[in-house]
Amino acid sequence: MSRMAGADVVVVKAMLVGDSNVGKTSLTDSICRNRPNKGVSTTGVDVINFRYTTFSNGPKEYHLYLSDVSGLQRHRDFISSNYAWYNQMILVFDICSLDSFESLEKNWVPDVQKLNSTCKFVLVGNKTDLMRYRTVSKEQALEFAQKLDCAYVEVNSHFIDPLIDQMTIFNKD
């Protein structure tokens, strides 16, 4: 993308966190490559997947550094050592997995808050294309988002606009 003349440039550094198989890599690829991931998990050598993209929203040009991380417990120490660099944490859970939702409150949020007290959260319920299998109600998610004082959006890897909107809303001023 070429730089817009006179545009304000905003740098957004966001990390998607959550358990394995909640769709973090698919969301990252949808945002940065305009296509969802084909089911490849972020494991092994790819503990953190880094992506970069730019886009415009009104008079602002956004430079988005986006990372998704392995959701495996054995990688948490390495992942947490990188939390301080990010200004946004995208908390992702699968709306069809109550365990993935409960893990955010029990594991991911305390880890992030301990090492980065200034980052902002966005809570993301993923896999809305599988709504008929839903086990986490919208009300549960909204209650958790209110507790965290953050926005809640529901998406799937083919419909990410609400997430993009929330990632840029912090930088409207």
Any domain includes 2:
no
* Three-state DSSP class for residue 148: helix
Any domain includes 90:
yes
**What does the DSSP assignment read for 19-36?**
STTSSHHHHHHHHHHSS-
What pLDDT, on the 0 to 100 scale, is given for residue 173?
43
Any domain includes 1:
no
CATH code at 66?
Answer: 3.40.50.300
Any domain includes 84:
yes
Q: Which range marks the domain in which residue 163 is found?
A: 8-169
Total tally of structural domains belonging to the chain: 1
Any domain includes 159:
yes
- Rounded to two decimals, what is the model's pTM? 0.82
**What does the DSSP assignment read for 100-138?**
HHHHIIIIIHHHHHHH-TT-EEEEEEE-GGGGGG--S-H
From first to last of its 173 residues, the chain has per-residue pLDDT tens of: 444 555 688 888 888 889 989 998 888 888 877 765 555 554 443 445 667 788 777 788 888 888 887 655 544 555 666 777 788 899 999 999 999 999 999 999 998 898 888 889 999 999 999 999 999 999 999 999 999 999 999 998 888 787 777 776 555 44
Any domain includes 80:
yes
Any domain includes 56:
yes
Any domain includes 3:
no
